[in-house]
Structure 1
Amino acid sequence: MSNERSYTIEEVSQLLKVSKLTVYDLVKKEELPVFRVGRQMRVDAKDLDDYIKKHKTNQLTRPSPTTGLQQNETEASHSQSIVISGQDMVLDILATQIENHSSYKTLRSFTGSLNSLFSLYNGQCDIVSLHMFDGDSGQYNLPYVKKVLVSDSYLLMNLVLRKAGMYVQKGNPLHITSWKDLKRKSIKMINREKGSGARILLDEQLRIHHISPKDIEGYERVEMNHLSVASSVASGQADVGVGIEKVAKIVGVDFIPLITERYDLVMLKNPQNDSLIKVVTSILTSASFKQKIHSLGDYDVSEMGSIIYETY
């Protein structure tokens, strides 16, 4: 076995000074080879070096017509790769089902809702999961999708419903019960990154309840996923954090449910995506997939596969 160094997607993005989603896009287009170690994708150092050499601006060589034809034939024989963006474990199960029921190969991006939506707009993702609360309408997701995908045709469909709220320490020693409790000076929180659904929910609730982020200790402290937020509360580094019910049970903290959020999927409608939309719709409307997700607990599958909004 070769001892060649390899890099994670995050390390590649840092080396190239681009976003992780740009790297995922290169992988999706088969411009940058990867291999998997469990759920993690890695890139050989030699493959990264070859990619950089190939794209230097002083490269003068061009493929011959025969070489180009052979390359096209080779690429056509490959399965199409798609990028699914979001963090919930349900997406991992969906990715497996897509691969089992089609020729698609799935790549996973663990990026927050808003940034994922922008990546869909820019053509860097194929399936994006969203849970973004709009305080003015009381709706999830659609108000944001309409503003971002203004020039695209798209389909918004439900994946699951789930409880969102606050993680607190076992026994809830500070008796936290509502968003208004965050104003109390004795409470220290841990936040999520900008663009995540949990951060949007918090910021909208603070706006609705006329609470200034400056008055909340720990508001500027950020973790990048639900597990890290819940773990910070469990270890006593914070008293409260915003997240979903499922993770509270995994980590072992108490959970204060405050809202039922709609966790939706959005896909662009175009000729290239017709087959993908059919595959995803078939999976989400199947009784077997609904039962598989229902058996995990803490997920409501009653609206799974229903179309929330569709442009024509």
Structure 2
Amino acid sequence: MIENTVLTPQEVAGMLKITKNTVYELIKRGELNGYKVGKKIRVDLKDVENYKNRTKNTTGEISHRPIIKDDLSYSNMFYPRDADISDGFVICGQDVLLDILSRYIEFHCSGIRTFRSYVGSYNGLLALYLGKVQVATSHLWDGDSGKYNIPFVRRLIPGIPTVIIHLACRMQGFYVPHGNPKKIQGWEDLKRNDITMVNREKGCGTRILLDEHLKLLNVNGKDINGYNRECFSHLTVASTVARGGADLALGNEKTSLQVKGIDFIPLQKERYELVIKKENMYDSPFKSIIEIIRSKEFKTELSGIGGYDLTETGNIIAEL
């Protein structure tokens, strides 16, 4: 009977004691098998059991398997298609601070349900342009100008007035094995032929930061061992390095503090910012978002997590 039992994402969420949005994320990342019936997503009970068994080990710790691009079942999912978003509010981005922001929005804006779309910055801006989401976040660095976000917002949301609001600064750098056995120091080490890396997926800010620097170095990514091996979070690339699966990976400093067996080499402070359409700026809940981001309560909670520079949080960076 277990082979024939079909579950909705809500039923899976109840079994695993997680939110339905987390179920969508697990499916999108390829960690939980799912399939579409029309426009609905369904999961077989046997696949839920397989997922639970895979994440167990004798130490009781969670195992982190690298999520390779080919593992994704729904790589083109912009938002939870199984959800009714007619009265919802979709925020694109992958940082945990967006989970906190979503909670504040639902608390302060009665009747608003928030949904998370865990796609990278490039696809998030595209989804905002296409009207699939209400809010996008971005940490995209342009190597030609040395600026964050503004050049990409101009290109990916053409002809639509937008507002960029600063969320936080984060430090990006290399994850290397503890002790840094290859003596890696910076971007120039990507030219070495004795280096193996593990990469992030196309479209995320970290991948674009890497590719922009490779362009400046006149290095073809395909010449780097492991360049085409893609994972879909900072945590998975960091854990791959910790297990000896690569000599380096690019990610943020905050994640490096969560994974044993790696060192962090700081390279560049990045700007993580929120993008909305200007026409919505003074409507609810958009107006509330700005008030929340600027509030002492919100900043205090982020300070407690650590890893964020909140000096400019809530500032309007540009109106394009």
TM-score by length of 1: 0.78
User: What are the superposed Cα offsets for residues 88-139 of structure 1, whole Å, 9 maximum, x if unpaired?
Assistant: 1111111111111112211111101101110111111111111111000100
Cα displacement (A) at 1:13: 5.5
Cα displacement (A) at 1:287: 1.2
8 Å CA contact 2:281–2:287 kept in 1: the answer is no
Alignment correspondent of 1:268: 277
Greater Rg, structure 1 or structure 2? Answer: 1
The answer to whether residue 266 in structure 2 is matched with residue 257 in structure 1 is: yes
CA distance in 2, matches of 1:137, 1:200: 14
The answer to whether residue 85 in structure 2 is matched with residue 29 in structure 1 is: yes
Secondary structure of the 1:111 match is coil
8 Å CA contact 2:165–2:274 kept in 1: the answer is yes
Alignment correspondent of 2:138: 130
Cα displacement (A) at 1:216: 0.7
User: What are the superposed Cα offsets for residues 43-101 of structure 1, whole Å, 9 maximum, x if unpaired?
Assistant: xxxxxxxxxxxxxxxxxxxxxxxxxxxxxxxxxxxxx3111111111111111111111
CA distance in 1, matches of 2:219, 2:141: 17
CA distance in 2, matches of 1:120, 1:272: 14
> Taking structure 1 as reference, are residues 166 and 15 closer, same or farther at Cα in structure 2, changes over 3 Å only?
farther
User: What are the superposed Cα offsets for residues 193-252 of structure 1, whole Å, 9 maximum, x if unpaired?
Assistant: 110101000000011112221321000110011111111111111110011000011112
CA distance in 2, matches of 1:157, 1:310: 9
Secondary structure of the 2:132 match is coil
Alignment correspondent of 2:199: 191
- Counting helix residues as a fraction of each chain, which structure ranks higher? 1
- Once the two structures are superposed, the pairs formed by residues 1-312 of structure 1 within 5 Å of their partners are 5-7=7-9, 8-9=23-24, 10=27, 11-12=34-35, 19-21=76-78, 24=80, 27-30=83-86, 80-103=87-110, 104-252=112-260, 253-271=262-280, 274-311=283-320
CA distance in 1, matches of 2:91, 2:206: 19
Over aligned residues, Cα RMSD in angstroms? 2.0
CA distance in 2, matches of 1:215, 1:231: 23
User: Which deviates more, 239-248 or 99-108?
Assistant: 99-108
> How many equivalent residue pairs?
259
Which stretches of structure 1, 4 residues or longer, exceed 4 Å deviation after superposition?
Answer: 12-18
CA distance in 2, matches of 1:145, 1:28: 28
8 Å CA contact 2:197–2:227 kept in 1: the answer is yes
> Taking structure 1 as reference, are residues 92 and 14 closer, same or farther at Cα in structure 2, changes over 3 Å only?
farther
Cα displacement (A) at 1:20: 1.6
8 Å CA contact 1:25–1:125 kept in 2: the answer is no
8 Å CA contact 1:13–1:20 kept in 2: the answer is no
CA distance in 2, matches of 1:29, 1:165: 37
8 Å CA contact 1:248–1:254 kept in 2: the answer is yes
Cα displacement (A) at 1:160: 0.4
Unaligned runs of 5+ in 1: 31-79
CA distance in 1, matches of 2:156, 2:209: 18
CA distance in 2, matches of 1:247, 1:142: 26
Q: Percent of aligned positions with the same letter in both sequences?
A: 42
Cα displacement (A) at 1:25: 5.6
Task: Give the letter for the 1:297 counterpart.
Answer: G
CA distance in 2, matches of 1:28, 1:217: 43
Task: Give the letter for the 2:8 counterpart.
Answer: S
CA distance in 2, matches of 1:293, 1:245: 15
Secondary structure of the 2:80 match is helix
Secondary structure of the 1:124 match is coil
CA distance in 2, matches of 1:160, 1:201: 17
CA distance in 2, matches of 1:264, 1:274: 19
> Taking structure 1 as reference, are residues 293 and 124 closer, same or farther at Cα in structure 2, changes over 3 Å only?
same
CA distance in 2, matches of 1:4, 1:14: 11
CA distance in 2, matches of 1:207, 1:138: 13
8 Å CA contact 1:25–1:124 kept in 2: the answer is no
Task: Give the letter for the 2:165 counterpart.
Answer: M
